[in-house]
């Protein structure tokens, strides 16, 4: 451990001031729609990296380059980047049309009174299969609007169910960038993190579903929604989900998904061969910003660690959070604070990873539990902040369909994130430790 030096944390402070400050200015001062997402996050991190390079004049620039190269070249970082690319190709191949098929299939066979519960369950499944909460919300919000209009349920309740279900899958999916970032940052197998996480997320999802069902009986409902659907395109998602749960290597699982998806898409005429190749490229390119953030954060953290910044932060955390359980709460609040500042749960995890790894060693917390805590708390905060991409995309999609709704109308119906927080605290403070941890 290097000698503690709080000034070494300056690059993180610079990034937060640039990103959070401009985000607030754009979003609330200049009233720019999705203002936080008009800020090039890669540029903000480049400025932070420049600040890190200008610190500690005792080290030559070549030595700093070598430190950065070691940070970026870490096995876990390289694995994470490769998984990002392959996961992007998988999503590009299979497309997203199957999400609507799942929704309309269930809405066709389940009574209209349970339509909001169906939205929540479909959102859970789709996000678990696709690995993206924003993509799930983009696809299902128009269906939520249709359910609200046709059945009589309030729009905030319908959208809240979709957002809650989307965060369930974002937290658990094997191809979610948050899962990839948390597992590779802590050096644990995805299946181990999934099993650890499942015990927290499933009870929260079931309680949320019960609350939605209770709420549903107090509403006078109209007719159901009937539209065409095609379930065969779900097969690649199911194969990926099963392969991940039983512990097959993530690269093998994603290759199975890519091959099966390509065969199904071509055989059913859903796409042409040339378009399929283009979709593969687009899927991989869609991971560019996430990959660049991972590289830049790794380089910045390598310098901060060398300068003693993490030692200073760990010293403060140890004074504030006592014992193993307190340390786990400290990890959760750390990544939560990062998420509030960046409005991006993947970036929050990537930033918190090296600090949490040292905290885990100091507090004696297993890698899989650390990965679970980071992913879960980042999803809790991301699921409720009113300026997060999930909320903004849902509001935008509803507005495009002529339905006005605000974040503060939706927030009381975000049952799942709030109950997930309660479940996480029970998991940390009340449940006994497992005898064998990975």
Q: Please report the pLDDT score of residue 36 as a whole number.
A: 67
In the predicted model, is pLDDT for residue 436 greater than 60?
Answer: no
Ramachandran angles phi, psi of 272, nearest 5°: -100, 160
As a whole number, the mean pLDDT across the chain is 84
Contact 144, 100 (CB under 8 A): no
Q: Percentage of the chain with pLDDT > 70?
A: 92
Least confident of 241-255, 272-286, 368-382: 241-255
The pLDDT of 194-205, averaged and rounded, is 92
| Domains in the chain: boundaries | 1-9+76-438
For residue 128, what are its two tokens?
A: 């678990």
The yes-or-no verdict on residue 393 having pLDDT over 60 is yes
Query: What pLDDT is attached to residue 97?
Result: 63
HEC profile of the chain:
CCCCCHHHHHHHHHHHHHHHHHHHHHHHHCCCCCHHHHCCHHHHHHHHHHHHHHCCCCCCHHHHHHHHHHHHCCHHHHHHHHHHHHHHHHHHHHCCHHHHHHHHHHHHHCCHHHHHHHHHHHHHHHHHHHCCHHHHHHHHHHHHHHHHHHHCCCHHHHHHHHHHHHHHHHHHCCCCHHHHHHHHHHCCCHHHHHHHHHHHHHHHHHHHHHHHHHHHCCCCCCCCCCCCCCHHHHHHHHHHHHHHHHCCCHHHHHHHHHHHHHHHHHHCCCCCHHHHHHHHHHHHHCCHHHHHHHHHHHHHHHHHHHHCHHHHHHHHHHHHCCHHHHHHHHHHHHHHHHHHHHCCHHHHHHHHHHHHHHHHHHHCCCHHHHHHHHHHHHHHHHHHCCCCHHHHHHHHHHHHCCCCCCHHHHHHHCHHHHHHHHHHHHHHHCCCCCCCCC
With cut-offs at 50, 70 and 90, classify the pLDDT of residue 437.
very low
Residue 438: is its pLDDT beyond 50? no
What is the band of 142 on the pLDDT scale with cuts at 50, 70, 90?
Answer: confident
- pLDDT of 434 over the 70 cut: no
Confidence of residue 222 (pLDDT cuts 50, 70, 90): low
Average pLDDT on 87-116 reads 77
At 225 the pLDDT is 66
Higher pLDDT, 37 or 172: 172
Contact indicator for 96, 136 with CB cutoff of 8 Å: no
User: Is residue 151 scored above 80 in pLDDT?
Assistant: no
CB 189 within 8 A of CB 89: no
Cα gap 146→339, rounded to integer Å: 32
- Give the model's pLDDT for residue 53: 93
d(CA 119, CA 96): 16
Phi, psi of 314, rounded to the nearest 5 degrees: -65, -35
Q: What band does 223 get if pLDDT is binned at 50, 70 and 90?
A: low
Q: Cα separation of 174 and 381, whole Å?
A: 20
Asked if the model's pLDDT at residue 204 lies above 50, the reply is yes
Q: How far apart are the C-alpha atoms of 263 and 423, rounded to whole Å?
A: 41
CA 438 centroid distance within chain: 23
Q: Which residue has the higher pLDDT, 81 or 59?
A: 59
pLDDT at 323: 85
Which pTM value belongs to this model? 0.75
Residue 121's pLDDT band, with cuts at 50, 70 and 90, is very high
Average pLDDT, integer, range 370-375: 94
Rounded distance between C-alpha atoms, residue 297 and residue 309, angstroms? 14
Range of weakest confidence among 8-22, 147-161, 274-288, 424-438:
424-438
d(CA 375, CA 200): 11
Q: Which of 89-93, 264-268, 278-282 has the lowest mean pLDDT?
A: 89-93
Q: What is each CA distance from 382 to 85, 117, 168, 282, 406, in whole angstroms?
A: 23, 22, 12, 26, 17
Burial readout 124-142 (b: 16 or more C-beta within 10 A, e: otherwise): bbbbbbbbbbbbbbbbbbb
């Amino acid at each position: 451990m290097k000698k503690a030096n709080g000034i070494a944390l300056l690059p993180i402070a610079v990034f937060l001031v640039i990103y959070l400050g401009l985000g607030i200015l754009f979003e609330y001062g200049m009233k720019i729609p999705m203002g936080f997402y008009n800020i090039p996050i890669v540029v903000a991190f480049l400025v932070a990296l420049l600040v890190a390079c200008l610190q500690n004049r005792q080290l030559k620039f070549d030595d700093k380059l070598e430190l950065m190269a070691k940070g970026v070249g870490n096995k876990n970082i390289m694995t994470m980047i490769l998984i990002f690319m392959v996961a992007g190709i998988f999503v590009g191949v299979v497309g997203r049309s199957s999400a609507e098929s799942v929704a309309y299939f269930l809405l066709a066979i389940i009574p209209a009174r349970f339509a909001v519960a169906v939205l929540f369950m479909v959102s859970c499944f789709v996000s678990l299969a696709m690995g993206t909460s924003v993509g799930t919300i983009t696809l299902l919000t128009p269906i939520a609007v249709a359910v609200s209009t046709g059945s009589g349920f309030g729009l905030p309740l319908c959208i809240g169910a979709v957002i809650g279900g989307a965060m369930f899958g974002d937290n658990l999916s094997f191809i979610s960038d948050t899962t990839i970032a948390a597992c590779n940052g802590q050096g644990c197998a995805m299946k181990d993190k999934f099993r650890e996480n499942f015990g927290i997320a499933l009870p929260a999802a079931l309680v949320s579903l019960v609350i939605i069902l209770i709420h549903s009986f107090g509403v006078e409902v109209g007719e159901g929604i009937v539209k065409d659907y095609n379930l065969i395109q779900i097969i690649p998602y199911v194969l990926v989900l099963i392969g991940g749960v039983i512990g097959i290597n993530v690269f093998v699982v994603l290759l199975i998904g890519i091959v099966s998806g390509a065969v199904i898409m071509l055989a059913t005429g859903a796409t042409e061969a040339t378009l399929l190749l283009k979709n593969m490229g687009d899927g991989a390119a869609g991971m560019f910003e996430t990959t660049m953030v991972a590289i830049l954060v790794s380089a910045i953290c390598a310098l901060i660690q060398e300068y003693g910044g993490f030692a200073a932060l760990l010293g403060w955390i140890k004074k504030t959070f006592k014992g193993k359980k307190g340390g786990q709460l400290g990890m959760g609040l750390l990544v939560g604070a990062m998420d509030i500042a960046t409005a991006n749960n993947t970036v929050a995890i990537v930033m918190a990873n090296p600090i949490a790894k040292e905290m885990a060693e100091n507090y004696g917390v297993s890698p899989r539990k650390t990965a679970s805590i980071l992913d879960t708390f980042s999803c809790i905060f991301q699921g409720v902040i009113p300026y997060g991409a999930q909320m903004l995309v849902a509001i935008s999609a509803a507005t495009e369909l002529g339905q006005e709704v605000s974040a503060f109308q939706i927030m009381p119906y975000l049952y799942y994130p709030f109950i997930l927080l309660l479940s996480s605290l029970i998991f940390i403070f009340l449940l006994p430790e497992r005898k064998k941890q990975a």
